Structure 1
Amino acid sequence: LCPALNSLFLAKLWAVSSRSCSFLDSLRNEDIQPFSTVLTDSFGRHHNYLRISLTEKCNLRCQYCMPEKGVKLTPRSQLLSTSEVLTIARLFVQEGVDKIRLTGGEPLIRPDLLDIIIELRKLNGLKTIAVTTNGIHLAKPLSRLKEAGLDLINISLDSLVPAKFEFIVRRRGFHKVMEGIDKAIELGFTPVKINCVVMRGLNEDELLDFVRLTEKKPLEVRFIEYMPFDGNKWNFKKMVSYQEILDHIKQQWPNLEMIQTGCANTAKMFKVPGFEGHLGFITSMSEHFCGSCNRLRITADGNLKVCLFGNSEFSLRDALRSGASDEELLQVIGAAVGRKKKEHAGMFKISQMMNRPMILIGG
Structure 2
Amino acid sequence: MKAATMRRYLTNITNFRLGFTTFNCFLVDSEVGSYRGTHDHMSKMMYATSCVSLSEHPQNDKEKEKENPVSDMLIDSFGRMHTYLRVSLTERCNLRCQYCMPPEGVDLTSSPQLLSLSEILRLANLFVTSGVNKIRLTGGEPTVRKDIEQVCYHLSNLKGLKTLSMTTNGLTLARKLPKLKECGLTHLNISLDTLVPAKFEFLTRRKGHQRVLESINTAIDVGYNPVKVNCVVMRGFNDDEMCDFVELTRDKPINVRFIEFMPFDGNVWNVKKLVSYSEMLDTVVKKFPGLKRIQDHPTETAKNFKIDGHCGTVSFITSMTEHFCAGCNRLRLLADGNFKVCLFGPSEVSLRDPLRQNATDDELREIIGAAVKRKKASHSGMFDIAKTANRPMIHIGG
1:188 equivalenced with 2:218 (yes/no): no
- In 1, the alpha carbon distance for the partners of 2:142 and 2:151 equals 11
Measure how far apart 1:343 and its partner are.
0.2
Any idea what SS the aligned residue of 2:256 has? strand
Cα-to-partner distance string for 1:137-185 (whole Å, 9 max, x where unaligned): 0000100000010000100000000001111111100000000000000
Match of 2:257 in 1: 222
Cα-to-partner distance string for 1:23-67 (whole Å, 9 max, x where unaligned): xxxxxxxx9886310000000000000000000000111111111
CA contact (8 A) 2:75 2:373 kept: yes
- Aligned Cα RMSD in Å? 1.0
1:329 equivalenced with 2:364 (yes/no): yes
Q: Which one of the candidate residues 77, 81, 85 is aligned to 2:120?
A: 85
Match of 1:117 in 2: 152
Cα-to-partner distance string for 1:229-262 (whole Å, 9 max, x where unaligned): 0000000000000110000111111221001121
CA contact (8 A) 2:305 2:314 kept: yes
1:260 equivalenced with 2:303 (yes/no): no
Any idea what SS the aligned residue of 2:286 has? helix
Given residue 217 of structure 1, which amino acid in structure 2 is its aligned partner? K
Any idea what SS the aligned residue of 2:73 has? coil
* Count of aligned positions: 333
For structure 2, list consecutive stretches of 5 or more residues without a partner in the other structure: 1-65
Match of 1:357 in 2: 392
TM-score after normalising by structure 2? 0.83
Match of 1:66 in 2: 101
Match of 1:313 in 2: 348
- In 2, the alpha carbon distance for the partners of 1:91 and 1:78 equals 20
Cα-to-partner distance string for 1:289-327 (whole Å, 9 max, x where unaligned): 000000000110000000000000010001101110000
Give the 3 Å change call, closer, same or farther, for CA 33–357 of structure 1 in structure 2: closer
Measure how far apart 1:189 and its partner are.
0.4
Match of 1:340 in 2: 375
Match of 1:301 in 2: 336
Measure how far apart 1:339 and its partner are.
0.3
CA contact (8 A) 2:68 2:128 kept: no
Any idea what SS the aligned residue of 1:207 has? helix
- In 2, the alpha carbon distance for the partners of 1:111 and 1:255 equals 44
Q: Which one of the candidate residues 235, 241, 248 is aligned to 1:200?
A: 235
Match of 1:175 in 2: 210
Larger Rg: 2
Q: Which one of the candidate residues 40, 43, 50 is aligned to 2:75?
A: 40
- In 2, the alpha carbon distance for the partners of 1:58 and 1:119 equals 23
For structure 1, list consecutive stretches of 5 or more residues without a partner in the other structure: 1-30
Any idea what SS the aligned residue of 1:281 has? strand
Give the 3 Å change call, closer, same or farther, for CA 34–89 of structure 1 in structure 2: closer
User: Larger deviation: 191-200 or 254-263?
Assistant: 254-263
Given residue 281 of structure 1, which amino acid in structure 2 is its aligned partner? F
Match of 1:210 in 2: 245
1:99 equivalenced with 2:166 (yes/no): no
Match of 1:51 in 2: 86
Match of 1:164 in 2: 199
Given residue 230 of structure 1, which amino acid in structure 2 is its aligned partner? D
TM-score after normalising by structure 1? 0.91
Any idea what SS the aligned residue of 2:331 has? strand
CA contact (8 A) 2:67 2:160 kept: no
Measure how far apart 1:69 and its partner are.
2.4
Match of 1:138 in 2: 173
Match of 2:143 in 1: 108
Given residue 35 of structure 1, which amino acid in structure 2 is its aligned partner? V
Could you list the structure 1 runs, at least 4 aligned residues long, displaced by more than 3 angstroms after superposition.
31-34
- In 2, the alpha carbon distance for the partners of 1:203 and 1:311 equals 29
CA contact (8 A) 2:67 2:161 kept: no
